Amino acid sequence: MLLDPLTEIMVQGITGREARSMVADMVEYGSRIVAGVTPGKGGQDVQGIPVYNTVAELKENHAPSVTIVSVPARAVLPAAEEALENGITLCLIMSERVPRLDTSKIVATAKERGCTVIGPNSLGLIRPHVAKLGTIGGRIDNVHRSFLPGRTAVISRSGGMTTEIASFLTSHGIGQSIAVGVGGDAIIGATFTELIAMLEQDESTDAVVIYGEPGGTAEEELADYLGTHKTRLRINAFLSGRFVDDLEGVRFGHAAVIVEGGRGSVKGKKQALRDAGVFVADRFDDLLEGLR
């Protein structure tokens, strides 16, 4: 499911301060970071990992299928396009404040080329004890405490809550097959619906926990999908922000957390998911009941 233990990974923007720290943690966790790209910094290295000026130059010596884009917002579009032109099949975009038009172009091109995009504005994804991409889980000691191998996938619009849910499950002996922070922007790559469709084919996953928020239509779109597609997965959801339903037009936290025109309310999302057969927890602890 997205991350194979032998997958080779490159990091675009590897010489940045945050990227250097991120790379050290990923390597320690077992992720195979083979090279990085920063224009003008070719010939340097980060944690012993070679740096190239372009993806094309990197591909002459390595064969990554995954990229992590950690560059300023204005540079995300050309960086992602360069990766897609060179056959990348999984693209994690961590950068925030990426213009929506740029994101739309990236997502459209990625679909044409068979690449899965996670983000923008995502902390990453992890397969416990296999590999992790990005800063999900924070520092390495916290990652080891929070994530446990198992058969329950976690998909969340909040990067922090991805770890929080995994930690909660781990504390009750429920391990995770994969955990994905899809990103908090209004326009993102892989959605709940697309990831559920992928998990349907994943033999290591039996159940899913989804964390949703006010705003957008991702949860309703998933409900529509489940209404017409049978699933073998036990899907559970927790939606935060009920108080936002009464504050139309006000944004909270992520760019996508805004209720407008009567759409995107938590109340409506809950009803739609329940009608589609999803167990929706009213309280965080109730997730255990759904998983049982």
Catalytic sites, residue numbers: 254
Distance CA 136, CA 128 (A): 11
DSSP strand pairing (8-12 vs 66-69): parallel
Q: What would the two tokens of residue 218 be?
A: 């991702």
